[in-house]
Structure formats: structure tokens, C-alpha cells
Structure 1
Amino acid sequence: MVSNPVHGLPFLPGTSFKDSTKTAFHRSQTLGYRNGYAIVRRPTVGIGGERLQVNQLSQAELDELASKAPMLTYGQPKQAPPPEFIPAHVAFDKKVLKFDAYFQEDTPISNEENYRIRQVNIYYYLEDDSMSVIEPIVENSGIPQGKLIKRQRLPKNDRGDHYNWKDLNRGIDITIYGRTFHIVDCDRFTQVFLESQGIELNPPGKMALDPYTELRKQPLRKYVTPSDFDQLKQFLTFDKQVLRYYAIWDDTDSMFGECQNYIIHYYLVDDTVEIREVHERNDGRDPFPLLMNRQRMPKVLAEHAKDFPQCVLEISDQEVLEWYTAKDFIVGKPLTILGRTFFIYDCDPFTRRYYQEKFGITNLPRIDVSKKEPPPVKQELPPYNGFGLVEDSAQNCFALIPKAPPKDVIKMLVNDNKVLRYLAALESPIPEDKDRRFIFSYFLATDMISIFEPPVRNSGIIGGKYLGRTKVVKPFSLVDNPVYYGPGDFFIGAVIEVFGHRFVILDVDKYVLKYMESNAAQYSPEALLSTQNHVRKQEAPAPELENKQTEEDPGTKDLETLIDTIQKQLKDHSCKENIREAFQDYDKEASGFVDREMFFKICESLNVPIDDSLVKELIRMCSHEDGKINYYNFVRAFSN
């Protein structure tokens, strides 16, 4: 084995050579087995069997040396200095994004334009994300222009977000404080900046133009020389000659509209028209005499006259193709002036003569425009509900606050306190109702009926008021047109049906007969005759009484005969047992006399038939001059 001739040279570039005679380049085995386990074996020779250096580094040192930077040769590396911090207000100072935009503004008070286009510039300041909107000043625009929105951060929505440069682009709409701006284009710097940040810009749009501003740029109108019409001759010929027409304006088709009268004056001196209002007393209108001042009225306008500022300047012959003349005002034809259609229905005599001489029109008609009142609509009442009288219930349909139905005051004054009383029995298959008696009271002042049932002791029926004052409807009468019982329906034997109960008239008092005789036209002859016969039969004296009157003292004979007659007729009356005790209970002094008022109360409580003609005569004979009644003789007629 030949030794390396360059052995010992430093391991530097240019001093390391390869051994050309070396042919073995294998490495020694570093793994081995002991007792069946794989273990690491340290090589004793190098590559190709070369002898290893004595101070050879261990594997751990070699690994550490391989992972370290070359600090042994060049020392510890120095850290690179951090980049210098530049704040946003310095980095983006004087860097502004500019956008061209416009917005549309309504002009409701203008006659020449409906809307206005206003062009603005939107500036976005990158240093603090603020924005401003500035409108370039346009000469003679008449609008306060300049800074519309001062520089500030503009709110984007209600959540507190603000507009950012990422939200801006061409061809979009942004809303700032309720006003919508349409962005059309931007400048070159803005385009480069947005594209450098990865934003794809929309194609640029076209700026909208203001129609009124463009209209003002048109050339001025050229005027022509007026015609050579001799106005002086017209003035001298037709001075103080006025045609008068009577017209109406019917606006009843619209809400709250009405028909109004007007007078139209046509002045022949200068072909002007005047419309005057016709006011009446207490018509509720403001006293303005003129609807339209005296002026010439255009009939046909030129096409370009629609854009002419009529509210500022007067209309001349260049804007009008045809004016209203006297031949346009014809009686019987409508005429539209200032949007209102007037109908001429008459004129004065001078106007008639003028039309006859000028146009050959004779016999101008006079049209009647007075509107006839429509026939009254018959008011139909709803069905009767059964509560109260029909007249009272019907008042709810006539007014919101019902009023009492009208009354016949004359009838109430004439018949005040006039009452017709009748005695009636109840038609009923029930045996207990056979002996029940009722007193009907007919009030002539109000045509009302009340029914009273005298209480009968130990009858089992509670007497008293049976029916309060009310009008009673006849059976089989219509509900909507009821027919009430009148005085002519009450006579002896008449059947009165009161709310399903049938009553038969048995007796009447003397006042009823007097009323029937004085008002015989209300009663049938049969009813009047039956009542007269019934009353006369009660007033006729008994045969026994006539025979005894010739033999005995007239006063005593009459009293005794009357008592006997009453005893025979009322022998089955129920009050015989208690009548004496009732009078004695009230007569504490046992004088035999009681007051007249107390007397009738006792008779009414005991159901004594005081309406009977014989009983009435007995009461008259027992009456005293001081107003008291001797009940001893009266009790004899009702006792055993």
C-alpha cells in the first residue's frame, strides 16, 4: 500500500487531490448482531479500508456540525433591520379617488320642466376613508351649487357601516342621505388604483344631460312684424258694445261638485272674454266677482306653444293658430274655456240683434236648465219588532235620536179627562173565569184603553190593574199598518179581543150613552139602539114598585121597594156576609154614617156592583146633605 504523497497538506481549496491509485471505495459495515439482536457497530477503518484518524469526530458531533451555520469561519450572522413603518395618513396623503356622477331632482312647482339632472363629482380620500360630493358651478343656473356634502365618513346602512373604496365602481347607484347618485366614470388614477387592488371595473357610462339646460341652448325665436289690422277702426265702431251670454257649469259628476251659473261677456272692441260668477244670497260662497279676467282666449294653440312659459309671458299671435270669436258663442252649445265646459242657455236682447244682423241667425232659443227635483223616495220601514207601539218604533228609522210621534193637540184639549167606561166579562172555557168582571176605560184624548179587574174576596184571583194605558190593535190587522180599537167598536154585546183574550161588553155608564147619542155618526144604528134599550131597561122601575107607590108614602115606599128589588136581584151576591162588618169597622162612633170617599172604597173592596142603576138610586136616597151616606139602609139591601 503506497502512502498518499499529499498527506499532511491543509484541507484547503487547491491542496486536496484524489488518490488515482485507489480502487476500493466500499464502506465498512456499521450494523451487527449479538445474541440475535441488531446492534450498532463502530467501523474501525474508513472508505476503501483506509486507516481512520485518531481524533475522528463522533456521529453526534458530526450531526451537530452539519446542522450549524458556518459561524466558525464567518462568525455570528447579523439580523436584517425591520422595514420602516409608514402610517396611512403619510402613505395615502393627497391620494384621492374621483368619480363622475349625477342625480335626478323633481321640480313640482315648475311649469317648464318635470325633473332636473344635476352633475356632481364624488371624491374619496384614501388617508381617512372620508368622502365629499361637490357640484360644479354652472353659469346662470339659478341653483345654489358647490359643496353639496362636506368631507366626512358617509354611512352605508343602518347598522353603522360606512362606505369604503371597495364599494365604489362605475355604473352603480349609491344612496347618500336619501339621495341616489349614479356613478358614470372615474379618472385615470382611480382606475389604476382600483385595478391594482384586484377590483374589476365596469365599463364607463354616459353622463345624463339636463333637458331644461339643453332647451335653453336652442336659438332664440324670431318674431315677425304684426299685421296691418286697423285696431282704431274696430275701437271706434264697437266701443261699449258687449255680448252677454248666460251659461252654467255642471260639475255634479265629480265629488262635491254642483251646478253653478255664470255670465260670459264678449267685448267686440278688442275680442276679449270675461267670465263673471253669479252669486245669490246666502249661497255660502266667497264674494269673488270674476272667474276669469278680461283677456283674449286662444282656441287652437301651436305645437311648440306647449313649452312656452305661459305663467310668465302673455300669449301672442305666434303661439295661437285660432282665437275665440263671437261666432263660437252659440246658445244651446257647450264651450270649453280653461278646462271647464260651459253650456250657454240664453243671451240678452242686444246679443240676439247682433247675431241676426251679423250672422243671420234668428230666433235664438232660451233653454230651460233648471233641474226638477227627483220624486221623493218612499221610505220603507223594517218589520215591526213587537216592542212598544208601531209609531214609537218607527221613529228609530226617521232620525238618529228618536223623537216622540206627533200628537193631535186639539183632540187632546177637547177630550181632556173624557173617559168612556164599560163593564165586560171574559170569554174563557175555564170555570174560574166565568164570574170575573172587568172595567174597560177608553180615553178619548189619546185613544188608549186600560182594563181594571175589581178584586173579589176569597176568589183566588188577585184583582187590580189588568192592562195599563195602551192602544189595542184589532185582530187580523196588518203589522205595518195596524188598526186600533175606537169608540165605535164598544157597545152592548160587542166582543173586544185584547192580546189574545176575548171580552164581551155587558154594561155601560150613562156618560157612554150621552157620548154615543151626541156622536151617532161613529156608531152603527144597531149598536146605538142596543145600548139605549139596555140603559132604559135598567132605569125602568120594577112592577111591584109601581103598585106600592100609589098606596104608601112616596119616600118610604120608594126606599123599601128599592131595597126589596135589590135583595131579589142580588140574592146570590158574595158580599152579603161581610158588608155590615166592613162598614162598622170604619164607623168607630156607631153613628150610622160614613164619608162618601170611604163608602166607595168599602164598596169597591167588597165588589159591590155600584155601577148598577138600582144600586146607584139606593146610594142617592141614602146620601145626606153634609156629604155623608147612611149605610144602615144601604146594608139592608145586601143582608139577609
Structure 2
Amino acid sequence: RFLSVYFFSFVVKQINFLRAVGDTFLSLCVWWPDIAKMTMLNPQFNNLPKLPGMGFGEELLRTDFRKSQLLNSKTGVQDKRVKPDVQPFDTLRLANTQLGGNTQAKMSLDRKVLRFQAFFKEGVHESPQEQERVRRCIVYYFLEDDTISVSEPKQDNSGIAGQGALIKRHQIPRPDGGAYSFEDFNIGREVMFYGKCFHLIDCDTFTRKFLLGLGVDVPEPEDQPQDQYTEIRRKVTAQMVPRKQKTGNDMDYHQGGSGRQAKLTPEEIGLTKQFLAHDKKVLRFYCQWDDRDSLYGDVRLYILHYFLSNDTIEIAETNPPNCGRDPFPSFVKRSKVPKQRDGQFVNPNASLSFKTETVEYFTDADLRIGNYLRIFGRTFLIYDCDEFTKNFLGSKYGITDFTPVDISQPGPPKIPVEPPPYNGFGDEEDSLGSWKYLVLKAPKKDIKKFMEHANNQLKFQLKLKGGDPSNAIRKFVLTYFLSDDTVSIFEPAQRNSGIIGGKFLQRQKVKKVGSDGLPTGEYIQPQDLYVGATVIINTHTFVVYSTDERSLTFMEYNAHQFPKSNIDIVLSNLRSMLVSRQTGLQHAFAAADSSGNGYLDYEEFAAIIERLQLPIAEQEILTLMRHFDRNSDGQISWTEFMDTVLPREVQSQYESKRDQAWEEIRAMAEQQTQDELDRFNSDMNGTVTQLNAFTDQAMRNFLEKWNQRRSLFMDVFRTVADHSPDGNIGEAEFRKAVQAKLKLGLTEKALKAVCYKLFPENLKRIPLLEFQRILNGTSTYVHLKPRR
């Protein structure tokens, strides 16, 4: 029983001991982080060396060693979540500071700042003028949170970069630990901010009152020391102050004592009058500077402006397009230009001495067309001026001759570039295309010409000249296609001749052959083909001895393109031959009519021309016979022929010139005709506007009738076009349709005006379809555009 009681008491004591030990351990575990934190925040522990085991790090304060979670998903959206361990600012202070205990004090110190003026010295190395520089600044102490900021006022021409905020607003630690408070600031003290010593020399009124209210004695302001560089800059700035100008009262006082009546000098008064009289009046001259004597020099053009308001000169260069020069706005800026003395240029503004020398400047009296100006070492030639300059110089100096100087330069001689010989690929135009262009392209065709002459062909009968006698019986048919100027030759088959007919020359362009037997480079044109002509094609010499009726009619309708079928030219030549006694043509015609019947046929006419060896082709004889043979019997009336070609009044007019050569007579007749035409044109110059108005009115009247009966008009024009040789409409067909068919009752003057409007000199024949477009107003022909 005793043992049991003793054992029970022993167990109870052990239990109590273990309970006490456990309570002690639990209290240590609870208070250990606070003890470590207090130890860490104690400034005395900050002076310990930074060695392992000598400090308490954040790892000793940690109680939660779980890995934090950064990624989170909320309402289906994945986001990065960071939960920093944020604690109130007051809990970081000393342990006895209560949370929210100084809130009212903070509110009372809100927006209250202590401001001190200070300076610090900064060493200047490698400078002969100074060793150190004093930099003044302002220190701000914010009472609400004990933060400090330092700023440096900017100084002009100080050469110091980065002036302004030196230290941003925050709590600055003291060198011995802890943070600065307002008790550390006063006039005369020095504070160390990050290794720089700031000496406080003054404060503002609020700071002084605040410190005095706390019982702190504030000394008097101290003077800021001056550095050597600041003194140097102050002296330089003092010298830059402008001289004090005299006021109006001072000038009146001096003028009254000296007897002067104006505040300006006579020179200033003259310049003012000149400015008011000639403001915005500028003389413009065109100049040239020949710089070809220097290396890579060239002839350059300039414009010289002379300002009459103050006698200044400005020179600007005119650069031609793609010259490669920079487009500078001015070559010589606006200023007074001095003249050169003894061929040497002296700039009065560049003199090293202050001696006043008389300088002569260019004036408007020195500027004339043809004069040479030596300006800043360059010689300028004035070759022209504008109209205002001519009027000004004429009114002031009486100049009347303003003939421009010819400055045109002969261009370099053009080197003839001959095309290479035909290479055999394609036709000759394709070969030339490969020589003219880098990128090959098909040669362009004349579509307009092709449309106008699509069905127009000229046919001639040829025979070989010379060579084998067996070739004398061979006959050839040459077809000239006016749409593309190509030629084809076909030889008809002849029975029992031993010659097989067929294509002699494929359709192609044929080049002309000169008198030396070599190609001239030009192609055969329709004017080169006429009855009696000799052509050489592929070394074969052909003689044209006949043509068909359609070809003759086409050439007569287009007589301006075929001079051998132009009756006016043929009659003019024949008239000159009949007048001249040297040809003997008139006596030959009279002798040919020995039978007395009064008629001449084609053979007799041709025999006379051949016997007299006159330069009249068989084509021209055909033109005469077709013109005078009214009944198509192959004969012409000698009396009618002479009355038309050489009437009696013409014979009396040329009676004094019958002994001259017929070429001279023709030249005089052409000159007389040209003089009459010029006289007529000069008389008509005054009425050109009236004629144009009358022509337009006549055309409008005709178009009104066309719009009223368009179908009837088109049927009539189609009928006359079908009966024309080429299927086109000319002035003759138009007159026939208007006068004989439609009977519109137009006067001859109105009809001529309409024909002049529809058929100009370069377009005498118009296709029917294009003629319809003209009347409908949808044609693109240039001559039908309304005049402006």
C-alpha cells in the first residue's frame, strides 16, 4: 500500500514536470520570431561584420516552407496570382510603436516641407582656370514621412549636365545608421547624402518659424562661396550688356543745342525715301558665266535681281533639267556687291584693320545688255532682261536698244548612225526593230492607212528592157498595194511562147535603185510608178507601158499625190513649153495638123513630144488626152486645146518672154501665182473670223437638214460612193449628191463652205462609213473639232 501511494505521487510529479517543460518550449516557439525580428531591427546588430553566423537572415524568420502557388484558374480563366507578404508600414517600426498611433500627427504635418539652401563642392580636374566648383542646391525635408529630396537650380552657360533633381524623394539613411530626421537639419550644419557633403547656408521663412517654434535656435544665413569659373562668366556677361540708347528727350536736347532739324542723318533720310519710292521694284537680268576654261567647267546661266529699294543684288542659278547640279536657292545672297579695283577683288568686310576705305558698289547704271560684270571673281555676261527692266531703263536712261545677246552654243556634231545590214530574219523592219530596241517588239502598222486604202490597188503593165531579146515578148503585171506600200509582180502565161507564167515577185516592199545600181534605202512609192517610168527591181529593169482605167481614175482623183496625173501641173508645164520658141512645140503642133481636120490623136501627140525630146512623160500625155477628149474617141480638138492651154490674152502676156527657156517661164509663172496667193491671203486676213463663222453656220444648217432626212441622205451618198472609182466620197460626189439628187437649194458660197469643212487639203477622199460618222458627230478626225 505504501509502495503504491509512493509510485502514484512519483508519477504525478513527473507529469507536472513534463507539463512545465512543454509550456516553456511552446512559449519559446511562439516568441522566437519576434525576438529574432527585434534583434535584427536593433541598430547595434547592423555594426556586426557580415560573416556567417553573425546575422539573422530572412530564412530564420520563415515559418512556412511550402512552395507558393503562382498559377491559378478562376471562372475558367487561367491567371498568374502573386500573394506578397504585405505588412502595414507601422509594423516595421520599433516594437513599442502602436498601429495607427500617429495618424493624427501625420495629418497635421501633411504638405509641410522644410526647405534649406545648401551647396557642395565638386572637384574639377585638368582645368587651368579652376580646381573645384561650388554647386548650389535646395534640400527639401517632408515632415509627413521623413523623406528628403535634393534639386539643383539650372544655371545658364554653366556647362554642367544633368541639372535639376539630384536626389529623388525618399528616406535617406545616415552614415551611422538610422534615417535622417528634422533635428539633423539647421543652418551651418553639414549632412552627408551618399558620399556628398551638403553644407546648409539658409532656409525659408516657414522653416525658420517651424524650428523656432520647437525651441531650436536657427543661426543667421551664411554667404555662399564663389568659384573661379562663376566669376569669369560674370565678367563676360557684364561686357555683353548693350550700350544704353538715347531716349527721344535726350535726342531732342542734343538736336536743339546743335541746330539739327531731324533725328536722322541725311544718308538715312535718302535711304528711307528710296525705299518708299521703289519698294517691291526689282530689275531682272539674265546672265551667263562661261567657266569652260577651268577643269570640267561649263556654261552656266543665272538670273540677277537688282532691288531698287536699297541697291542690293541677288544672283540665283537656273539649272536645266537633269543637269546633275544641286538646286541651291541663291548663288550670291542679297547684298551690296562691291566693284573690283585693278582687277583684284577686295572684300571690305574682311579687312583686319579698321581703316575706312571708299568702296564703290554696283548700281543700276552699270547693268546693261551686253555688259560684263566682275562679281566675286566671276565674269557674268548680261544677255537679256525682262519687260519691266526694259521700261525702267528706257524711262530713266533713255535706252532704246534692248536686242538680246545670242548665247546659243553650237551643239556637238551629230554622228550619223547607220543601221546594220539586213540579217535575214523576218523582214527588214523586224531586223531594224532588234537594232532600235533592247526589248524586241513587233513593228507598228499604220492602221489608219490600212483602213483607208484596204481595197485600193494600182496595176501597171511592164516589160523588160534590154538583156536577152527573147525577153521582149514577156509581159508582167505589177500590183501596188496602197494599204502597206507593198509590190507584187505576176507574169501571165502566153500561148506558144515557151515561157511559163506565174508569180514573178512575191508581195513585199521593194527598195529603189540609184543611178549607180545600188539600193538607196528608200522604198518604191506610188508616185514612182506611171506610164513611161523605168523601175529596177531585183536587178531587172522594167518599163511601164500601160495601166488600167481604175488606176488612172484613182490617180486623177488624188492628183495632189500623183503629179503626173495632176492636170494643173501638166498644163502649167505645157503652157511654158508652148510659149517658149526654144522648144518649137507650137510649130510642131501646127505642122501636125497639116491635114486640116483640126484634131490630134495620142500617137501624133506622143510622136511630137518624142521628136522634140521634151521632158513630158506618157502619163502626162494620157492625162491631157483624158482631160480634153470629151467623147472618148482618142482625139482632141486642136482649137479647143490651144484656147484652153494658151489663150490669146496669155500669149500677149508672155510675148516678151518667148525667147527664154521654158523652165524660166514656168518659174516666173509660179512666182507670179505665189504673189497673187499671198496678196489674196493678206486681203483675207481681216475677214478670217467672219469666214469661219459663216462656215460654221453653213455646216450647222446642213446638219439640221441631215437630221431631218437622215435615211434619204444616206441612200443618196451610198449610191454616189458606189459609182466612184475608189468607193469613197470626195467633193465632186458630195456636190453631185447635194445639187442633183437631194436638191437642197444651197448657194454656191454655202456649198463651198460645207465642202471646205468636210474635205480639207489633207483629206480629200473619205470612206462612206467615216463620212457617216462625221455627219453623226462621232468621228475622231481632228479637222472636225469645233474651233475655240
TM beyond 0.5: no
The structure with more helix, counted as a fraction of residues: 2
Give the structure with the larger strand fraction.
Answer: 1
Shorter-chain TM band:
0.3 to 0.5
Using the size of structure 1 for normalisation, the TM-score is 0.33
- Please give the TM-score of this superposition, normalised by the length of structure 2: 0.28
Q: Which one scores higher on RCO, CA 8 angstroms, separation ≥ 6?
A: 1
